[in-house]
Amino acid sequence: MSQASALSVSTREFLRQPNLVGSAFPASRYLVEALLDPIDWAKLRVVVEFGPGTGPLTRAILERMVPGSCLVAIDLSPHFTRHLQETIDDPRLLAVTASAESVVDILEEHALAQADMIVTGIPFSTMSADQGNRILDASADVLQGDGALLAYQMRSTIAPMLALRFGDVQCAYVWRNLPPCHLYWARRPLKHGD
Ligand SMILES: C[S@@+](CC[C@H](N)C(=O)[O-])C[C@H]1O[C@@H](n2cnc3c(N)ncnc32)[C@H](O)[C@@H]1O
């Protein structure tokens, strides 16, 4: 797929729904490497991506995942999920048009009990606090006990929300992206009742 084609899909979707898409520019390779390189991919069998957009992280995740694993990429926009289905030929990818809030049901429908990792670029700063809380509650519930949630965000709205639901949250900042982004690695999900 050409970069021009990905850019035109993401620009069109950004102009249609700026609050949902957050940025007209796909994630840079600097952001992708900074976020994904610290992860030990050999152990991961089920990875979920929220808001794959045109798929710069989706492709990089698939490059790192082992054979026989599964990547469930969930995006609200059918234009993005169709773009992924048309441009990525990989049996490990399942592209689903839905909201991230439905992650528990989506995994159940595909006979996947829990996720080893969630990667998200959906903009928590422009959605309602209620929706953000529902998405992160579902994320903490669906992750394995040793699972992790990785996030890249233009603003730091998500930071206190992660601190409530994860026992260990590390962060960094990447300048070489349009726009520059906060990165988060949240581990030790706290389950209801913890
Ligand atoms: C900043 S874009 C990320 C795009 C992609 N990672 C990239 O670098 O091109 C945010 C994406 O989140 C999706 N999105 C927003 N809210 C969502 C939700 N509640 N559930 C699933 N996807 C959502 C948007 O449709 C958009 O594709």
30-59: average pLDDT:
96
- Kindly give the number of the ligand 1 atom that is closest to the alpha carbon of 23: 1
Q: What is the pLDDT of residue 66?
A: 97
Residue whose CA lies nearest to ligand 1 atom number 18: 99
Round the average pLDDT of the chain to a whole number and report it. 91
For 150, residues 6+ apart whose C-beta sits below 8 A from its C-beta are: 35, 36, 39, 117, 118, 119, 120, 183, 184, 185, 186
Which pLDDT value is given to residue 192?
67
Give the residue-averaged pLDDT of 25-42. 94
3-state DSSP assignment of residue 51: coil
Whether residue 186 has pLDDT greater than 60: yes
Residue-level pLDDT at 21:
63
Backbone angles phi, psi at 21, to 5 degrees: -85, -35
User: Mean per-residue pLDDT for 134-144?
Assistant: 96
Q: What is the pLDDT of residue 99?
A: 97
Percent of the chain with pLDDT over 70: 87
Asked whether residue 191 carries a pLDDT value surpassing 80, the answer given is no
3-state secondary structure of 99: coil
pLDDT at 7: 66
Q: Is residue 153 within 8 Å of 124, Cβ to Cβ?
A: yes
Look at residue 26 in the predicted model and tell me its pLDDT: 83
Ligand 1 neighbours, Cβ below 6 Å, are 10, 20-23, 26-27, 50-54, 56-57, 74-77, 80, 99-100, 121-123
Predicted confidence at residue 113, as pLDDT, reads 85
How much distance in Å is there from the Cα of 163 to the middle of ligand 1?
22
Label residue 55 left, alpha or beta by phi (over 0 means left) and psi (-120 to 50 means alpha): left
The pLDDT, as a whole number, for residue 140 is 96
Q: Which atom of ligand 1 is nearest to the CA of 22?
A: 1
Question: Is the pLDDT reported for residue 137 higher than 80?
Answer: yes
Q: What are phi and psi of 139, to 5 degrees?
A: -65, -50
Cα distance between residue 184 and residue 57, in whole Å: 15
Gyration radius of the chain over CA positions: 15
What would the pLDDT profile of 71-94 be if each residue is shown by its tens digit?
A: 999 999 999 999 999 999 999 999
Lowest-confidence segment of 56-60, 108-112, 144-148, 190-194 by average pLDDT: 190-194
pLDDT given for residue 177 in this prediction: 94
Q: Enumerate domains of the chain plus CATH numbers.
A: 3-189 (3.40.50.150)
* Tokens linked to 82: 């169709």
